[in-house]
Structure 1
Amino acid sequence: MKRLTVDIAPGDYTVCRLPAGSAPPRIEASGLVSVTSTPTEVSVVCPTEAAPDSEHSHPGWRLLTVRGPLEFDLTGVMAALAGELAAAGVSLFAVSTYDTDHVLVKATDLARAVKALSEAGHEVN
């Protein structure tokens, strides 16, 4: 895997789940906002200050974004990040967009995540 540049976004993020069939919420926030609807849930990732009320809400995540855009035929980006973080004992929540990949790690694990990615040869800003 080639060296990646990973940017750490400012602020706290929340990952939450809304009941199946919920209307996707309209979230006005700067930063990453991801709303994914499946037959069994509506999943939301967004800055904590914009998070919808949810019984299943998990704040305290930090966002790491691979600087892109990435070509669609580029392989192994998420596998490299996930493997390096897993080896360091850091769990992640992954989100991919058209241009790039994002991983969220718990704020308490951010220093370990940065160290693991840096030691693997990636540039972390």
Structure 2
Amino acid sequence: MKRLVVDVVPGAYTVTRLDPGTPVPAALFEVDGLVSVTRTPAEVSIVSPSSAAPEGGQAEAGWRLLTVRGPLEFTLTGIMASLAGSLAAAGVSLFAVSTFDTDHILVHDADLVRATAALKEAGHEVHG
């Protein structure tokens, strides 16, 4: 696996679970920062800056965002495996989100120092 460049994004993030069919507030898409909405038949999951987290669902706050500098080619393999494996070996749980251009990992704020150390030890470059 080639060395990845990972940026620690400032600010706190929240992961929120809403019941299926719950409308997503349109204002969420005007927020600065990563906003990810995933809908399945069983739930609506939203990742957003904590200041913009929707109300009315089950929320878990206290996440920090690490973003792989991209864009990444779709032909690249093992990116998420390398990141997740390094974090798992350090005992750090994660919440992963992928976009067209790159990959994002959220770790609990309490695990951020361990997470960045593990990624550096695996040979990745971490900024922020």
Moved more, 78-87 or 53-62: 53-62
Cα deviation for residue 107 of structure 1 reads: 0.3
Rounded Cα–Cα distance in structure 1 between residues aligned with 2:60 and 2:115? 19
Moved more, 85-94 or 16-25: 16-25
Cα deviation for residue 108 of structure 1 reads: 0.3
Which ranges of structure 1 fall in alignment gaps of 5 or more residues? none
- The answer on whether the counterparts of 2:13 and 2:64 sit within 8 Å (CA) in structure 1 is yes
- The answer on whether the counterparts of 1:16 and 1:54 sit within 8 Å (CA) in structure 2 is no
Aligned runs of 1:83-94 on 2, under 5 Å? 83-94=85-96
Q: Secondary structure at the match of 1:12?
A: strand
When the two chains are superposed, the root-mean-square deviation of aligned CA atoms in Å is 0.7
Paired positions, count: 125
- The answer on whether the counterparts of 2:92 and 2:115 sit within 8 Å (CA) in structure 1 is yes
Cα deviation for residue 54 of structure 1 reads: 3.2
Q: Name the residue aligned to 1:113.
A: 115
Cα deviation for residue 24 of structure 1 reads: 2.4
Q: Name the residue aligned to 1:21.
A: 21
Identity over the aligned pairs, expressed in percent?
Answer: 67
- The answer on whether the counterparts of 1:24 and 1:37 sit within 8 Å (CA) in structure 2 is no
Rounded Cα–Cα distance in structure 2 between residues aligned with 1:97 and 1:20? 22
- The answer on whether the counterparts of 2:16 and 2:46 sit within 8 Å (CA) in structure 1 is yes
Q: Name the residue aligned to 1:5.
A: 5
Rounded Cα–Cα distance in structure 2 between residues aligned with 1:17 and 1:87? 28
Q: TM-score of the superposition, structure 1-length normalised?
A: 0.98
Q: Secondary structure at the match of 2:114?
A: helix
The one-letter code matched in structure 2 to 1:88 is: A
Which ranges of structure 2 fall in alignment gaps of 5 or more residues? none
Which of 32, 35, 42 is the equivalent residue of 1:33? Answer: 35
Q: Secondary structure at the match of 1:86?
A: helix
Q: TM-score of the superposition, structure 2-length normalised?
A: 0.95
Moved over 3 A (4+): none
Rounded Cα–Cα distance in structure 2 between residues aligned with 1:24 and 1:44? 9
Cα deviation for residue 25 of structure 1 reads: 2.6
Rounded Cα–Cα distance in structure 1 between residues aligned with 2:100 and 2:43? 22
- The answer on whether the counterparts of 1:4 and 1:67 sit within 8 Å (CA) in structure 2 is yes
Q: Name the residue aligned to 1:82.
A: 84
Q: Secondary structure at the match of 2:80?
A: helix
